[in-house]
């Protein structure tokens, strides 16, 4: 299970970098797009993955002074460009990269979403919206996708995802939130996305 978790958040981080290539053309795409023809798996009938209302959140301080509240006790993996926090099939991934310009609705729909669908696992986009948050206006992409196959059983589950793109002074922060499809994490995801800060 640990190798499954590691693979999932490593791929999530790689996918985030691949998406940033729309803003930084010099960045190589790290995902080949081999999963484009994959079919969506059926959602779980009683999906695990609800973050409890009693969950405690702690502050994470990342590269270039970014700050974010993350669930306490989740397995943490640090990278030079950010970190991931994983609990079973739930995860939070924050990635910081250089960018020459801020993404907007037009560039996200025309480029970013196209790459996300091509490189992800049976990705279905359900919304792209500019949202006003305490850190400023961000672009939120809402979509569903298949998980990475379990390393032992090869099983996949259907997941729901929110991706937030924050931009400031030549830096692009990508926040990925994912959970089993149908899990009730609306309040917790809102808390985390609104807690993001540039320092």
Q: Give the tokens for residue 42.
A: 């059926």
CA-CA distances (angstroms) from residue 181 to 88, 128, 156, 159, 178? 14, 18, 12, 4, 9
List, for residues 73-131, the tens digit of each pLDDT value.
Answer: 999 999 999 999 999 889 999 999 999 999 999 999 999 999 999 999 999 999 999 99
Nearest to 188, CA basis, from 169, 165, 162, 167: 162
- Calpha distance 170→199 (Å, rounded): 14
Structural domain contains residue 66: no
Structural domain contains residue 53: no
| Domain count within the chain | 1
Q: What is the CATH number of the domain that holds 99?
A: 3.40.1000.10
> Mean pLDDT throughout 24-34?
36
Structural domain contains residue 21: yes
- Calpha distance 134→194 (Å, rounded): 6
What is the predicted pLDDT for the residue at 159? 96
List, for residues 44-70, the tens digit of each pLDDT value.
Answer: 877 778 999 999 999 999 998 999 999
Structural domain contains residue 63: no
Structural domain contains residue 57: no
Portion of the chain with pLDDT greater than 70, in percent: 82
155 is in which domain, residue-wise?
A: 2-27+75-195
Structural domain contains residue 116: yes
What is the predicted pLDDT for the residue at 166? 97
Structural domain contains residue 42: no
Structural domain contains residue 117: yes
**Helix (H, G, I), strand (E, B), or coil: what is residue 103?**
coil
What is the predicted pLDDT for the residue at 46? 74
pLDDT band at residue 40 under the 50/70/90 scheme: very high
- Calpha distance 174→161 (Å, rounded): 13
pTM above 0.95, yes or no: no
């Amino acid at each position: 299970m640990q190798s499954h978790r590691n693979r999932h958040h490593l791929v999530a981080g790689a996918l985030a970098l691949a998406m940033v290539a729309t803003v930084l053309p010099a960045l190589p795409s790290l995902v080949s797009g081999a999963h484009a023809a994959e079919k969506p798996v059926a959602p779980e009938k009683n999906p695990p993955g609800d973050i409890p209302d009693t969950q405690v959140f702690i502050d994470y301080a990342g590269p270039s002074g970014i700050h974010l509240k993350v669930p306490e006790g989740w397995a943490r993996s640090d990278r030079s460009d950010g970190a991931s926090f994983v609990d079973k099939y739930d995860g939070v991934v924050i990635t910081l990269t250089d960018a020459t310009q801020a993404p907007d609705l037009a560039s996200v729909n025309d480029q970013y979403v196209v790459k996300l669908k091509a490189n992800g696992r049976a990705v279905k986009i359900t919304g792209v919206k500019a949202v006003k948050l305490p850190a400023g206006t961000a672009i939120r992409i809402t979509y569903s996708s298949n998980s990475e196959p379990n390393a032992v059983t090869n099983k996949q589950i259907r997941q729901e995802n929110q991706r937030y793109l924050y931009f400031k002074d030549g830096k692009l922060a990508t926040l990925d939130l994912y959970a089993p499809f149908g899990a009730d994490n609306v309040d917790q995801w809102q808390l985390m996305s609104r807690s993001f800060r540039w320092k």
